[in-house]
Amino acid sequence: MKRLFAHIIPFLFFTVIFAADAVAQDASLEGLVVSSTDGESLPGVHISIPELNTGTITNTEGRFRFRSLPPGEHILRVSMVGFQTLTQTIRLESEEVLNLRLELTPITLQTGELVVTASRRSQLIGRVSVSMNTITPAEIHSRNITTLDQALDYVPGVQVLGNSVNIRGSSGFAYGVGSRVLLLVDGVPLMGPDQGGMDFDGLPLTQTRQIEVLKSPGSALYGGGALGGVINLITRDFPDTPETRLRFFNGVYEPVRHDVWKQNWDGAADYRPFRGLLFGHSQKTGDRFGFWLSGKLFDNAGYLQNNTSKGIELYTKLGWNITPDIDLSLYTGARRNENYQFLYWNGLRDPLRPGEIQLTGDTASGSNLGLSDRLTILPVFTHNISPNVQYTLKGRLFGVAFRPMDRQGNVRPSDRHNVGVRYGGEAQVNIQATDELILTGGGSFDENYIRSDVFVGEDSLMVRNQPEGALFFQAEYQWNQRLTTTAGFRYDAYQVHTLETATQFSPKFSASYSVSDHLTARASLGKGFRVPSVAERFFNNQDFFPLISNLTLQPETSTGYEAGFTYMRPVRRAFSLKAELTGFWNEYQRLVEPTFRPHEGSFQFINLTEARIRGAEAAVSVSSLGQNHHLSTSYTLLDPDDLEMNRPLVYRSKHLFQASGRTNIKEWLEAGIDFRAASAPERVDTDFSFFVSDAEVFPAVYVTDARLRFIGENTLRGMDLSATFMVRNLFNYYYVERPAIFAAPRNYQVVVEITF
């Protein structure tokens, strides 16, 4: 019987597909609908032929198809909220298959912005029912952003503390492990297999279409790491015209002004240099194949002692349109860095040098020299079975290796090397069941393999970490032109160790309602969860800091509520205005926090507390329709409470403020300025100060960056040339970027970019 079903089910599956393709047709019409501003495909566009009383809607790729249409002349009507309606006359011949490319013009520039992270499919940001922000390529280039943390500095409600990303207070500071924000590349998780954190380097920023930041629990769609939000880097497609981009940057850190800080390190009086090259090339080779490659070379002398870094990164993406309905792409990334990591200072009177911790019978060091490698392989297969049915298969392989080095630059023995691999896959199906209903479902499987001498488990040198599987489903229904609701869930199962499996059911619901053509109301609620990382559970080492393992650590969960308004409209036919007001309320259970254990004389990650973070956020931006002028500002108010201890959560700022302005003074001259501020946390972890002097010092942050950009088009035989002079931390404000590490002083850089 099992053999019989094994043969019958595939036979029936393919019979249905091929039967659907074999329907007789008089004439056919198919095509693609795109935005006239950037050529991006538009999903959810209504296309009708009124005289025939027939219509359809574009799929997630912006494609549509009519079959069995009578020959002759017909009027095609194309419409979508936020775009000007298009009416076009077409003529069909008998048995003809007519292929069209239709362009819609946005009513306002910001309304036409497309995002994919909110619902695992493309949709207009003005219709999204959760809080989202995007970072555009123009912002990346204008600010010479070379790492992800630099890109996140000016996203409302986001604060970067060292290598921890804090979205609306969800994370605080966690020593670089166990991120509560999930990093994706083209929708695929890219978190460290051992520490469970995100790497700010190693991303193809010259080939980035946009970076999307989802600022609410995303576990119902993306799983465990999305407890506090999601960051999704969307890579570029392949242009019709080949493009090569070279960006050179060279800069220096200014010496600190306090003599007492300089006296213990000879390099403190020097202007410390940093430089690099970012490059990229993209093109199509024929109608069906395209590729791009991107890379970075960099060398940074650092502004602290034992804080140098240098390396090389290379990324590629290949795309093959196998048939009109089948696409295959392959993204790969490789990186090698040699880093001297500065872990903690030698006290407030000596913040430029790494400190030391005296332990029983040993001394822990505040710096670490090592060689790190990273390899990423992400294949994606997409098949449009019909205009209304599409499935996607995604694979992932993410490997990291760290080899410690001695102070002479020699790699230490192999038993001190840390190696981790995360591998898995995902299947997703999108079904346009009706013009109003879109169904999304699928499943995923992942597993980590870790080899390290700092983890204590069943095998002290080898830990196979928590294989995990998940099923997810979502239904989005557009009741009318104003109201859209989304409901879904995700079921995850994690093997936390040999004898225990953790499961989690994460439902979600959201709705958006267009009060008018310019005002949208939205509300959402959802559950989130996160299984502790390998490092949080198994790490047991005192080389750099006293930390012991906790094999009984339990998953943490959250429940999030959000409601808000988005207002967008043109102003005097010259500008577009976007304003958002959001209130949010998040409750957390069994939060994992590092805590000092006096009887052990070490820190340990434990399920510490029940917590609540509530607050409000307001953001306003104004842009000229030609994008020659832009002004934005935002304010986030947080109330982060430890409910068990009745006190504020550690390392959370109550007030966050950002403001940015950019203007083209002339066609060839652009000026920009950015300001960000964060109030001092109401509470910090004072236990850290038992080991590191003055680790409790955590002042408010006030940082201003400024830039001038000279732009030349077609200046050198078809080449576009720009040169930018930048000053970061313009007023040389001294602060800490995380506990016990001094943030960068004022620094200057010159950036030259050539595009041809």
Tens of pLDDT, residues 47-80 = 888 888 787 777 767 788 888 888 888 989 887 6
Let me know: does 580 contact 522? Beta carbons within 8 Å: no
Can you give the pLDDT at residue 654? Answer: 95
Burial of 518 (0-12, 13-18, 19+ CB in 10 A): middle
Tens of pLDDT, residues 715-742 = 556 788 889 999 999 999 999 988 899 9
Same-fold call for 24-106 versus 111-755: no
The pTM of this model reads: 0.84
Tens of pLDDT, residues 268-286 = 999 999 999 999 999 998 8
Under DSSP, the state recorded for 649 is: P
CATH homologous superfamily of domain 111-755? Answer: TonB-dependent receptor, beta-barrel domain (2.40.170.20)
Domain boundaries, the chain: 24-106, 111-755
Contacts of 358 by beta carbon, 8 Å cutoff, 6+ apart: none
Query: What are the backbone dihedrals phi and psi of residue 379, each rounded to the nearest 5 degrees, phi first?
Result: -85, 145
Tens of pLDDT, residues 526-547 = 888 888 887 788 777 777 777 8
pLDDT band, very low/low/confident/very high, at 465 (cuts 50, 70, 90): low
Tell me what the mean pLDDT of segment 26-55 comes to.
80
pLDDT band, very low/low/confident/very high, at 18 (cuts 50, 70, 90): very low
Can you give the pLDDT at residue 127? Answer: 66
With a cut of 50, say whether residue 124 has pLDDT above it: yes
Please provide the size of the chain in residues. 756
Tens of pLDDT, residues 641-668 = 999 889 999 899 999 999 999 998 888 8
Contacts of 654 by beta carbon, 8 Å cutoff, 6+ apart: 637, 638, 639, 640, 679, 682
**Residue 621, CA distances (Å) to 125, 568, 577, 673 in order:** 14, 10, 6, 14
With a cut of 50, say whether residue 576 has pLDDT above it: yes
Q: Which of 110-119, 149-158, 317-326, 387-396 has the lowest mean pLDDT?
A: 110-119
Q: By percentage, how much of the chain surpasses pLDDT 90?
A: 35
CATH class of 24-106: mainly beta
Can you give the pLDDT at residue 716? Answer: 59
Tell me what the mean pLDDT of segment 170-197 comes to.
80
With a cut of 50, say whether residue 10 has pLDDT above it: no
